[in-house]
Amino acid sequence: MQYYQIIQSETGPVIHSPLKGKPILTIPQLNKGTAFTIEERKQLGLLGKLPPCVETLEAQKKRAYVQYCDYSQPMHKNIFLNVLHNTNEILFYGLVKQHFKEMMPIVYTPVVGDSVIDFNKAFRQTRGLYVCYEDRDCLDEIFRNATNTDVKLIVVTDGSGVLGIGDQGVGGMGIPIAKLVLYTAIGGVSPYNTLPVMIDVGTDNPDLLKDPLYLGWRHPRIDDVKYREFIEKIIDCVMRIYPDVFVHWEDFSSRHASTILKHYQNKICTFNDDIQGTGVVTLAAIWSALKKKSQTLGEQRFLIFGAGAAGCGIADHLYFSMLQLGYNPKEVRECFWLIDRQGLLFEDDPILHEAQRRFARPSHERPGYDRYDLETVIRKVKPTVLIGSSAVKGAFTEQILKELAGLVDRPLILPLSNPISRAEATPQLIMEATDGSAFVATGSPFPSFNFGDELVITGQCNNAYAFPGIGLGVVAVNARRISDQMLLAASRAISQCVEENIYSKWLITPIPEMAVLVAKRVAYAVAEVAIEQGLAQATNESVVDRVDRVYWEPKYYPIIYQP
């Protein structure tokens, strides 16, 4: 059943819907609540079903904000916003965009992590599609049941590697929903063109399997062979129904994340945010810091602590970007040291996965180290850039940070792990331990603090500054693939935004107030490269005009009953 269709009329978009009465009020894409005009109320069978006052979106936002402020707990605010999202989508986006800085941590990190953990208890209304392994023979039916039919962007998860909190089973759905909120609120991708998808292949989280409230398939995760076949079936079905769709993979465990990306990246328009989005935003932060230090990428020694999806993704993006900038592959390879649970990674380690092996040190270097732990490696390597992507709280201890500051002039320290409770170090500890010499950016937002007589605001090195603009650029020009060059252009655009707009000596990332500007600049850059590389069709319209024209803002479209 098609619930609505958007028609481009001379006066702008108009919604045609075959629905009347109560059903209209239950579909968040259609429901305007008190903002339905008298004319609409008459023709849509809504007369008498709403209080008589016809309100504007502005008036509705004021009331919604008062209601939001009634909640004091972040989790309750998150639930309130989720309910609003599932009741009236335009009002939700109007509100979130107006109070973006205040609401971003509520709808996205850090509170979304708690909402995923609480998913089974807090569940109220449904959103998106749940594709359960048990329904593997009904995939067409499932995808044709989506309320949005003109889908251009899917964010999909299997809930196996959520933020820093691991296997969350079906509760992982909170993350694609949150990512799509940012795609729309920051990236201006129309919510009528998006779809969150949860692939439910079971869970290996024992707490969930015995939780009586668990809402997912109560079954251990299926084996790798069945898993790959299921993903293939899903992608076949998706591409048949939405041939031009952009597929964003989210929070897949490192067991599958890079294999899936490698398998599909030259077949469909696709992107893994944990791997590529994190790489894009991290390179941008590094570039911004290097500008302040008047140094180049080639002079750096990168130490990455936590060689999972994000850690290896960052290394990959740095590596490919440096090659494109003309560096020699052998020399670039020499700039990386990766540490995982077993310590520094060496090529002769049989348990390395492919992504780790690319950056493992040659085995002949083994004897050069007494031990392979973080402290020893820092002492030996003297890294200029230290990245935390391990989800190990406090791994960058005061002692380690002090030692690093003594070895390297103005080190760049990026504890990227989320949520806050998993960060490798707090910005305050880093500033104190390095005597204010370090450049810092964190994955999650941290409160500002006093350092000496200065107030320090730490920037967020979060893929939220990358993926919304990448999605906008891709959708605007209908790109067929995402190339390394497009991602490099995204990093450069973010870094340039920081350079042009931020004059604080501490900040090396954008700030939330710049999120829309950054998204648009990233979109222009990504779309431009896609066209240059023949991955999207050029038109007479400039890329900037095209991106600006498709950028979606929340406003009510007229609704016409059309049986």
Residues that bind ligand NAD (CB under 6 A): 161, 163-164, 254, 274, 278, 281, 305-311, 339-341, 389-392, 416-418, 422, 443, 461-463
217 contacts 134 by C-beta, under 8 angstroms: yes
Degrees to nearest 5, angle at CA 149 with 25 and 483: 130
- Report d(CA 2, CA 5) in Å as an integer: 7
Nearer to ligand NAD, 286 or 339 (CB): 339
Provide the minimum distance between the beta carbon of 441 and ligand NAD in the complex, in angstroms, as a whole number: 9
How many CB atoms within 10 Å of residue 447? 10
Name which of 223, 228, 224, 221 is nearest 205 in CA terms: 221
Residue whose beta carbon is closest to ligand NAD: 308
Provide the minimum distance between the beta carbon of 404 and ligand NAD in the complex, in angstroms, as a whole number: 17
- Report d(CA 260, CA 355) in Å as an integer: 12
The answer for residues whose C-beta is within 8 angstroms of residue 534's C-beta and 6 or more apart is: none
Provide the minimum distance between the beta carbon of 320 and ligand NAD in the complex, in angstroms, as a whole number: 18
Nearer to ligand NAD, 422 or 546 (CB): 422
Provide the minimum distance between the beta carbon of 419 and ligand NAD in the complex, in angstroms, as a whole number: 7
SS3 449: strand
Q: Give yes or no: 108 in active site.
A: yes
Nearer to ligand NAD, 28 or 164 (CB): 164
- Report d(CA 465, CA 186) in Å as an integer: 9
**Amino acid identity for residue 490 in this structure:** A
Provide the minimum distance between the beta carbon of 389 and ligand NAD in the complex, in angstroms, as a whole number: 4
- Report d(CA 394, CA 418) in Å as an integer: 12
Q: Give yes or no: 524 in active site.
A: no
270 contacts 303 by C-beta, under 8 angstroms: no
Provide the minimum distance between the beta carbon of 544 and ligand NAD in the complex, in angstroms, as a whole number: 27
Helices (H) and strands (E) in the chain, counts: 24, 17
- Report d(CA 278, CA 100) in Å as an integer: 22
> Per the structure block, which two tokens stand in for 519?
């998204």
Of the candidates 4, 93, 108, 264, the residue annotated as catalytic is 108
> Per the structure block, which two tokens stand in for 383?
């890294």
The residues facing 197 across adjacent strands are 129, 156
Nearer to ligand NAD, 200 or 340 (CB): 340
Of the candidates 61, 179, 264, 319, the residue annotated as catalytic is 179
Nearer to ligand NAD, 455 or 457 (CB): 457
Nearer to ligand NAD, 308 or 554 (CB): 308
> Per the structure block, which two tokens stand in for 436?
């204010």
Active site residues: 108, 179
